[in-house]
Amino acid sequence: MEHVKFLPRSSEYARIREGLTHWPVTLLFGPRQVGKTHLVQGFATTHDHYFDLHQPVDRARLEESNFRILDGLDGVVVIDEAQAMPALFQKLRVLADRRERQTRFILTGSVSPRISDSSAESLTGRTRRLSLGGFNLTEVGPENWERLWIRGGFPAAYMKELDEVSMEVRQHYLSDVLTRDLPALTDIKLTTEQVFRLFRLLAHHHGQYWSHSEIAGIIGVNPRTVQRYIELFKGMYLVRELPPYFDNMGKRLRKAPKLYIRDTGLLHALLNVRDRAELYAAPRFGASWEGFGIEQLISLLQLPDDHCFTWSLQSGAEVDVVLALPGGLVGVEFKAGDAPRKTRSMTAAVEALNLRKLYIVYPGDKDYEIDAVVEAVGILNLPRLSVLTARKNAPESIT
């Protein structure tokens, strides 16, 4: 297998180190091939402290000893793809409660505990839970932001020299995930053709309001089947759902969520967008920009999913993202134009939601105020919005 180069990810290393300092178990979840293994391997105290549960030898080391091999390990133990062995979690609960040892455990997984049978409920109060996505703007550097947008953040796709090779990597990734990993997670079986059709429909509805019933009618299946597969895609960190923000205004709110393919490189592979010229000419150009901006915003500000919403009135006023933050609601709009301006829809949203700020993120490098509330922010300056998030270094969630 070709060796994949990785960029330094100092902020991610720091988050893991913080987890090791304060928690007996650190859980690192994210999609396959996003770099979790590369990130955590170096934390293992010795070679014997590292277990890759996709490797038969490491599975045997744990299973044949009935996990007793873990009893004598001090320092930091790393267990990669932990969801592959559900019985492990009960053992870790016992080990995490030992007072005579200070062993720390790092677990990785490519399936959310809410989807996987190997639920982390048994580790309640003992874990720091972290999510890992692809490369972000800070990691790739300002000169490479368009490359990141086009190719996405998966290391194997981003680091390729040629666009066509990067595209091939992403297409193979989608094939592997949808035909090998997905069927193992559900008893509800769509045909391979139906699964790929559903995922392509997700790409063409990227950033739009989603209806399970409408899509089910196109594919020819039950809406509950579509709903189940969307939950699986979310649990595999392939799809992001922004639920609608509800308040007590009594207005006619849209109640449908928006769905996004989280990695724009995968989105572009599904839309057959290969390079910059094709992206800027693509019908889904604006939707692609919106999805890219949302993922960068959430990654750079380390926003919990339950802080992020969308908002829209049936009369037309809407905000791409509403952030429910301690200091009040903040809106974020994503506009692909060179010099975005305030619109009537934005004015209505500011008034209806009493937004303390509304940011318009566009593909530029200069920020400018439009009025006391509305401000345009260039994509390269997105990291400065971290001032919005209180307790930025606190755990994202404790399971």
pLDDT, tens only, 291-311: 999 999 999 999 999 999 999
Comparing CA positions, the residue from 42, 258, 35 lying closest to residue 157 is 35
pLDDT at 393: 42
pLDDT at 395: 41
Residue 224, token pair as written in the block? 């509950």
Spell out a b/e string for 356-393, using b for 16 or more CB atoms within 10 Å of the CB, else e: ebbbbbbbbeeeeeeeebbbbbbbbbbeebeebbeeee
Residue 220, token pair as written in the block? 């020819």
pLDDT at 37: 93
Q: What is the pTM of this model?
A: 0.91
CATH code 1.20.1070.10 for 10-131: no
All CATH 1.10.10.10 domain ranges in the chain, comma separated: 137-388
pLDDT at 394: 43
Residue 173, token pair as written in the block? 């990734």
- Relative to beta strand 328-334, strand 318-325 is antiparallel
pLDDT, tens only, 53-85: 989 999 999 999 999 999 999 999 999 998 888
Map residue 51 onto helix, strand or coil: strand
- Relative to beta strand 25-29, strand 76-80 is unpaired
Distance spanning both ends of the chain, measured CA to CA:
36
> Between the CA of residue 322 and those of 239, 312, 363, what are the distances in Å?
18, 10, 20
Distance CA 390, CA 217 (A): 44
181, exposed or middle or buried, with CB in 10 Å at 0-12, 13-18, 19+? middle
- Relative to beta strand 239-242, strand 127-131 is unpaired
Comparing CA positions, the residue from 115, 114, 117, 118 lying closest to residue 79 is 118
pLDDT at 99: 81
pLDDT at 87: 86
> Between the CA of residue 141 and those of 148, 320, 378, what are the distances in Å?
10, 26, 14
Spans in the chain with pLDDT lower than 70: 1-6, 113-121, 248-250, 390-399
Distance CA 179, CA 184 (A): 9
Comparing CA positions, the residue from 126, 56, 116, 115 lying closest to residue 91 is 126
Fold entry, domain 137-388: Arc Repressor Mutant, subunit A (1.10.10)
pLDDT, tens only, 247-287: 766 678 888 999 999 999 999 999 999 999 999 999 999 99
Name the DSSP letter for residue 2: P
Cβ neighbours of 19 (radius 10 Å): 22
pLDDT at 254: 87
Spell out a b/e string for 159-170, using b for 16 or more CB atoms within 10 Å of the CB, else e: bbeeeeebbebb
All CATH 3.40.50.300 domain ranges in the chain, comma separated: 10-131
Residue at 391: amino acid letter: R
Distance CA 242, CA 210 (A): 10
